[in-house]
Amino acid sequence: MKLTASNLAQWFVQGDHYSIALDENQLVFESKQMTQTVPFSIWDGQCRVSRGLVWGRLTFIVSPVDRPAQKIAVYGLPWSQVHEFAETLSEHYQAWLGKQQNKFMLVEPELIALRDELRDFSGFLRVEDLKAWQVKAQEVFERCGVLPQVMATANPALYQSLYGWLQNGEAQRNARNTAWRDEELARWSTWFDGVESSPLNDSQRQAVLMDDNHNLLLAGAGSGKTSVLMARAQYLVASQQTEPSRILMLAFGKKASEEMAERLAKAGLKGVETSTFHAFALKAIKEISGQDANIAPMATDEETKHSWMTLWLAENFAQPAVEKRWLKHLAQWSIPGLSAERPLVEQAHEAKLQRWLWRLVDLLAQQSQSVTTIKASIKGDEKAESELALVQPVLKGYLAALKEQKAYDFNSLIKEATKLLSKKSESFGARYDHIMVDEYQDISPARLALLEALCGGKRNRAPSLFAVGDDWQAIYRFAGSDVSLTTGFMSRFPSGVIRYLDTTYRFNSQIGAVANAFIQVDPQQLSKPLDSAREQKKKAVHLMPSDAMESVLEKLAKSAGDKPTSLLLIGRNNANKPEALSEWQSQYPNLSISYVTAHGSKGLEADYSFILDVDDGTFPAKSSGEGLESALLSVADEMEHAEERRLFYVALTRGRHECWVFSHPEKPSVFAKELWQGSYPVTSKLSKKVLQAV
């Protein structure tokens, strides 16, 4: 069935459509340039008739799935036939639509159930929840063969509901979750007031409710991250979203893990699994493989480690080829504890040599890339290439010894657990609904791979990862942590969610004005507000010459009076510990004075703090810039002293009331100079001339 313009009409029509045909359940339009086919499924069934001076015109509205609705007009049609042709098209369309509606009636209950699945969903609707529903919905539509306009005609409300979630799902999800969050905040308001020793603030309450597939909570120094972790675990159980045994809380150290367990027990929440990464890896290996995972004595006992290394070095130094390689290296670069002036085999027991070797062996063992990739990455760094040639055989021998003992060290333990979980995550990981990780900024690539394996597999609902950390306090790169796994969280998990705790209860606003601005000089650190609960106008960070330390101590002790006052002395290394510390502790009994390294100060707080020896070459520490260790720890495009800056930030944020930064009067470090040269609210007793020097 076809209606076509006459030859004369076609000449007048030029490039427009001049022919319309009905072919089964589709319309076929012709013009001089093309033929266009439109199935009934994208036509609205309307055929609009209009008349020109001589001929008739038919206009159709079509709505392709992937494009906006469009108008198609056919010109130059014989007017005497236009109405009859339009009626015939409408009759064919109505007959087709009737059959489709009969088909729809058969599947309507299934589509209603599909709609109700989202309507009745309780809790936070995650990205993966929505994706899973959308996949299921598409499968239903494809199987049933129901067309959109059929549903729109037969059941408009159902159509709008289903296609709203299919075509604009993320906006619908966000709106639904916002409403859910507001309801939860109101419902649990009184509970949030009393769950911890102090009522949770708004950002803490919002954080407790984070429940997407991948959640990162940035918790600045003193912002109450532990309170959020504890409150979240209790909320999940109290709101009946899960059982205690289906929550896994992971920490990096045994002490931190035990403290979490103690706090949960004190709160009356029993059954939550708290563990270190290594203890969890041991459990996973045993349960999946059915065999105990033995930790090698070399991994835990220094004497055993020393004995193995001494024997390995003695045996290998006795080989001329090995000795020649080491001597060639020594001719250009030094090695701690080793001298070319004595037979190498006689020095195999040297403690400094072994510490240097174990350090590089451990770093190499942590790497996820192959040796070939490592060689390519250090190409051109002669020292690094030479050190790799020395250390790689040691690592190979060490791994062979572990294999012979059928035992693991801590690196291989994580890797083996990850390998097994990748295969069995659907069964092993299915026991957990929520995985919570403390101090996430210290995550290493190997530990993150374990988490991803645990959360992977094809399951209806994978565990929610709730990571709490602070990229501003990432100071353990030397131990294998990678801060880019935190700063690049959204790159790794594009559907992830990042929130932050915006209030610190530790230090006042003047310390915050210095510390928060100082850390954000590095553009790679994540930007976030961290307001102090205690506002003050008096400056609280002071630059002082090192020889003024005793006078500051005396004034501090005098002002403290009988009030118990704590003072933290913080140095870059143990070498910065003051010789007079014991004397000061006796001389000022009203001051509780203790010394820690900058790394050891993390997690601690005191009324006041001293940062010692902020001198050129001391804090920030010098970086060799070459060698294998430097190459393995390097971060692409990282600004100079990036990790040292984070370490100094940690030191700055230990004191509640005031912080004194002590430097050599003639050799203040770049950090001390920056605090003076920048727009930081600090006082100074150092020479302006020295501080202003570039």
Percent of the chain with pLDDT over 90: 73
Decide: 639 and 524 in contact? Cβ < 8 Å. yes
Confidence of residue 583 (pLDDT cuts 50, 70, 90): very high
- pLDDT of residue 522 exceeding 90: yes
pLDDT of residue 425: 62
In a domain, 616, yes or no: yes
CA distances from 20 to 76, 82, 630 (A): 11, 11, 74
The answer to whether 623 is a known ligand-binding residue is no
Domain stop point among 95, 116, 141:
95
Q: Where residue 437 sits, what CATH number does that domain have?
A: 3.40.50.300
Neighbours of 452 (CB within 10 A): 17
CA distances from 97 to 90, 104, 146, 149, 162 (A): 10, 10, 11, 9, 20
The answer to whether 221 is a known ligand-binding residue is yes
The reply to whether 273 and 322 lie within a common domain is: no
pLDDT of residue 649: 97
pLDDT of residue 204: 97
Q: Look at the chain and report how many structural domains it folds into.
A: 4
The reply to whether 307 and 277 lie within a common domain is: no
Mean pLDDT on 519-534: 94
Residue in the block written with tokens 């350090």: 359
Q: Is the dihedral of CA 208, 212, 213, 216 positive or negative?
A: negative
CA distances from 356 to 387, 393, 488, 492, 510 (A): 11, 15, 31, 34, 42
Confidence of residue 16 (pLDDT cuts 50, 70, 90): confident
The reply to whether 651 and 591 lie within a common domain is: yes
The reply to whether 526 and 639 lie within a common domain is: yes
In a domain, 23, yes or no: yes
Confidence of residue 478 (pLDDT cuts 50, 70, 90): confident
Residue in the block written with tokens 């070498």: 575
Domain stop point among 95, 113, 148:
95
User: Picking from 388-402, 415-429, 678-692, which range would have the lowest pLDDT averaged per residue?
Assistant: 415-429
In a domain, 209, yes or no: yes
- pLDDT of residue 320 exceeding 90: yes
In a domain, 146, yes or no: no
Highest mean pLDDT among 190-194, 445-449, 487-491: 190-194
Mean pLDDT on 174-183: 95
User: Picking from 413-427, 509-523, 573-587, which range would have the lowest pLDDT averaged per residue?
Assistant: 413-427
In a domain, 412, yes or no: no
The reply to whether 436 and 312 lie within a common domain is: no
- pLDDT of residue 625 exceeding 80: no
The reply to whether 548 and 495 lie within a common domain is: no
- pLDDT of residue 26 exceeding 70: yes
In a domain, 149, yes or no: no
- Alpha-helical runs (H) found in 120-144: 127-144
- pLDDT of residue 423 exceeding 90: no
The answer to whether 368 is a known ligand-binding residue is no
- pLDDT of residue 459 exceeding 70: no
The reply to whether 571 and 682 lie within a common domain is: yes
Which of the pair, 418 or 14, is modelled with greater confidence? 418
The pLDDT tens digits for 637-679 are: 788 999 999 999 999 999 999 999 999 999 999 999 999 999 8
The answer to whether 219 is a known ligand-binding residue is yes
Which of the pair, 625 or 241, is modelled with greater confidence? 241
The reply to whether 348 and 398 lie within a common domain is: yes
Mean pLDDT on 180-188: 96
In a domain, 179, yes or no: no
- pLDDT of residue 364 exceeding 70: yes
Percent of the chain with pLDDT over 70: 99
The answer to whether 223 is a known ligand-binding residue is yes
Q: Give the whole-angstrom CA distance, residue 366 versus residue 124.
A: 37
The pLDDT tens digits for 216-249 are: 999 999 999 999 999 999 999 999 999 999 999 9
Which of the pair, 238 or 631, is modelled with greater confidence? 238
Domain span at residue 618?
A: 509-690
Confidence of residue 163 (pLDDT cuts 50, 70, 90): confident
**In terms of DSSP bridges, do strands 434-437 and 247-251 run parallel, antiparallel, or are they unpaired?**
parallel
- pLDDT of residue 426 exceeding 70: no
The reply to whether 400 and 321 lie within a common domain is: yes
The reply to whether 600 and 530 lie within a common domain is: yes
602-605: list long-range contacts, CB under 8 Å, 24+ apart.
Answer: 602/473, 602/475, 602/650, 604/568, 604/654, 605/222, 605/506, 605/568, 605/654, 605/655, 605/656
CA distances from 542 to 155, 399, 608 (A): 72, 51, 12
The reply to whether 535 and 596 lie within a common domain is: yes
- pLDDT of residue 636 exceeding 70: yes
In a domain, 157, yes or no: no
Confidence of residue 21 (pLDDT cuts 50, 70, 90): very high
- pLDDT of residue 314 exceeding 90: yes
The reply to whether 632 and 527 lie within a common domain is: yes
Domain stop point among 39, 63, 95:
95
The answer to whether 253 is a known ligand-binding residue is no
The answer to whether 225 is a known ligand-binding residue is yes
